[in-house]
Amino acid sequence: MQQHDRFHVPDRIELQRAQLRTLAIILGGGSGSRLFPLTRDRSKPAVPLGGKYRLVDVPISNCLNYGFTEIYVLTQYNSVSLHSHINSAYRFDGFGKSFVEILAAQQTPYDNRWYQGTADAVRQNMRFFGRPRYDFYLILSGDQLYRMDYRNLLSAHLETRADLTIATLPVDKASAKGFGIMRTAPSGQITRFVEKPQEDTLLEGLKMPAKMLHECGISPGSERYLASMGIYLFNREMLEQYLDNDLVDFGKDVIPGIINERKVMSHVFQGYWEDIGTISAFFRANLNMAKIVPNYDLFYPGASIYTNPRHLPASKINAATIKESIIADGCILTDVYLENCVIGVRSVIGNESRLTQTVVMGADHHQAQWAQDNPQALPFGIGRGCRIHHTIIDKNAHIGDGVVMNPEGKPENFDGEGFYIRDGIIVIPKDAVIPPGTVI
């Protein structure tokens, strides 16, 4: 952005004061049909991630790490698991103003509908957000994987005197067709917004100009487009005005109407970002965390991912060969081979089992206690001598001895007995029982 387009650079005190007047609102997501069967019993933000976390922990942690400590999470679909997790994980002392609170969809004298979309969800809860001291509303998605210092977004918003600032991401042409794409002036002000443009002729007019490519460190001549990340910073007056209607969705309905009337700025983000909207995206993001140099580093200094403190014992590994894998707390592994795997809390894997490119979400209870209460049932966890490849195993699954799972040569999408194949990945749903000797 050129210097003459800037009004002033906010100093540290001004930025801190603005933070204290900013409310974070995390959207809990809809039905998450593209993540089925992982969303069969939970909402998207409640889906386990990285062995011990939930997706919603990512935006909450981004807020807490960078000083945005007043947070509402709006929930509606399949929300019991998400409510339980948030209530267990985020508790503050009674002497400060920090909070992470749930606002569940409800029928009231003011509105008897469920949330119809992102804008409608915020509109139905505006009476809870209207405290006089909030001047800014930071609206976030609950099902994305990224690490962002929202102070930079707020600083840019103050600096440009914007009414609305949208976090944007440079994407290639193939990806652009799945996002809301923006065209900007040299100042960074958004002049056009098109939701999921499909025609090449339309995309041609939305390409990032050469100067912007250079500023972002992208090679000249590259075809890149500015995609909305679904992260919005609104001035309070602006949000109240443009939600005084029956428009349903921010991206499709509200924002296109704002651009020609108010000052809407783009804030370009160049870090790693993944929208966990499909089974393949979820699978790819989890396995990448286990790489030697991951895109999303769980060991990033000064920016922890917070979650439910379960107070589990350290994992016990009796014998194993382990390559590029993550093993969470409370696991028991005996003579196993793991390669590019994510092993979730309380997982039990039996002798001589071999897992490659596999996400195991673990269990809600220790196997020994469960077996004591259910002596005749197949124990949960993974039995002896199993061969499992390119698979997601949801929580509390019971995998018998000698089970083989390998999607190679099978349909990209298939509904089987006790399993599913989605995007070429085998998915074992929560609480499933796979008998000994089964071959999938």
CATH code assigned at 28: 3.90.550.10
Instruction: Give yes or no for a contact between 272 and 202, defined as CB atoms under 8 angstroms apart.
Output: no
Domain-embedded: residue 439: no
Looking at the structure, do residues 279 and 142 belong to the same domain, yes or no? yes
Domain-embedded: residue 308: no
Distance CA 114, CA 386 (A): 45
Looking at the structure, do residues 199 and 242 belong to the same domain, yes or no? yes
Looking at the structure, do residues 250 and 380 belong to the same domain, yes or no? no
Looking at the structure, do residues 72 and 199 belong to the same domain, yes or no? yes
Full residue range of the structural domain in which residue 90 is found: 3-289
Domain-embedded: residue 303: no
Looking at the structure, do residues 285 and 322 belong to the same domain, yes or no? no
pLDDT digits (tens, 9 = 90+) for 379-408: 889 999 999 999 999 999 999 999 999 999
H helices, E strands: number in the chain: 13, 26
Domain-embedded: residue 306: no
β-strands 225-235, 190-195 pairing: unpaired
Instruction: Give yes or no for a contact between 26 and 176, defined as CB atoms under 8 angstroms apart.
Output: no
pLDDT digits (tens, 9 = 90+) for 53-107: 999 999 999 999 999 999 999 998 888 999 999 999 999 887 788 999 999 887 7
Domain-embedded: residue 75: yes
The model carries a pTM of 0.92
Tell me the angle at which helices 150-159 and 12-20 cross, rounded to the nearest 10 degrees: 110
pLDDT number for residue 116: 82
Looking at the structure, do residues 162 and 73 belong to the same domain, yes or no? yes
Looking at the structure, do residues 379 and 270 belong to the same domain, yes or no? no
pLDDT digits (tens, 9 = 90+) for 71-83: 999 998 888 999 9
Confidence label for 8 from pLDDT (cuts 50, 70 and 90): low
Where does residue 279 rank: exposed (0-12), middle (13-18), buried (19+ CB within 10 A)? buried
Confidence label for 110 from pLDDT (cuts 50, 70 and 90): low
The last residue of a domain, from among 270, 289, 308: 289
Looking at the structure, do residues 257 and 395 belong to the same domain, yes or no? no
The answer to which of 12-21, 29-38, 333-342 has the lowest mean pLDDT is 29-38
Q: What's the farthest any 2 CA atoms get from each other in the chain?
A: 75
Among 119-133, 201-215, 272-286, the range with the most confident prediction by mean pLDDT is: 272-286
Question: Which residue reads 């065209």 in tokens?
Answer: 183
Measured from the Cβ of residue 242, the count of other Cβ atoms closer than 10 Å reads: 22
Measured from the Cβ of residue 430, the count of other Cβ atoms closer than 10 Å reads: 18
Number of domains forming the structure of the chain: 2
The last residue of a domain, from among 289, 324, 357: 289
Domain-embedded: residue 266: yes
Confidence label for 5 from pLDDT (cuts 50, 70 and 90): very low
pLDDT number for residue 379: 80
Looking at the structure, do residues 346 and 424 belong to the same domain, yes or no? yes
Among 153-157, 257-261, 374-378, the range with the most confident prediction by mean pLDDT is: 153-157
User: 167 forms bridges with which residues in the sheet?
Assistant: 267
Measured from the Cβ of residue 186, the count of other Cβ atoms closer than 10 Å reads: 12
pLDDT at position 412 over 80:
yes
The last residue of a domain, from among 250, 273, 289: 289
Among 11-15, 117-121, 178-182, 332-336, the range with the most confident prediction by mean pLDDT is: 332-336
Domain-embedded: residue 178: yes
Looking at the structure, do residues 265 and 354 belong to the same domain, yes or no? no
Q: What proportion of the chain, given as a percentage, has pLDDT over 90?
A: 66
Which of 6, 123, 140, 127 has its CA nearest to residue 66? Answer: 140
Which of 123, 122, 160 has its CA nearest to residue 140? Answer: 122
Looking at the structure, do residues 94 and 157 belong to the same domain, yes or no? yes
Measured from the Cβ of residue 246, the count of other Cβ atoms closer than 10 Å reads: 10
Q: How far is CA 271 from the centre of its chain?
A: 15
Cα angle 179, 183, 184; round to 5:
130
Looking at the structure, do residues 73 and 149 belong to the same domain, yes or no? yes
Domain-embedded: residue 352: yes
pLDDT digits (tens, 9 = 90+) for 278-308: 999 999 999 999 999 999 999 998 899 999 9
CATH number of the structural domain spanning residue 352: 2.160.10.10
